[in-house]
């Protein structure tokens, strides 16, 4: 399970998933509370990304700029 390997502090959902709204977020949180045992659950924040459906492309652009941008 990736959660147990990486021990994230925050889990963000983006893109089309945001359209499902709070109903989806509540279901994800319930599943997380029931299925994840080894993490300190109170230290993990689960929420929607604030960039909406553009999150993926903004992240890809930031990664490309970081990896291939102008040298200092």
Using DSSP, state whether 47 is helix, strand or coil.
strand
DSSP 51: T
Residue 59 has pLDDT above 90, yes or no: no
For residue 48, the tally of other CB atoms under 10 A from its CB is 19
Which pLDDT band holds residue 51 (cuts at 50, 70, 90)?
confident
Q: Is the pLDDT of residue 18 over 90?
A: no
pLDDT score at 27 = 93
Mean pLDDT of 15-32: 85
pTM: 0.55
Domain parsing of the chain, residue ranges:
2-68
Report the C-alpha gap between 38 and 22 in whole angstroms: 26
From CA 25, how far away is CA 13, in angstroms rounded? 9
Mean pLDDT of the region 30-46: 78
């Amino acid at each position: 399970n990736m959660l147990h390997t990486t021990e994230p502090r925050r889990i963000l959902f983006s893109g089309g998933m945001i359209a499902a709204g709070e109903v989806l977020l509540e279901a994800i949180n319930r599943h997380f509370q029931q299925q994840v045992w080894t993490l300190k659950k109170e230290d993990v924040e689960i929420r929607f990304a604030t960039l909406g459906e553009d999150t993926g492309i903004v992240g890809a652009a930031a990664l490309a700029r970081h990896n291939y941008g102008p040298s200092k």
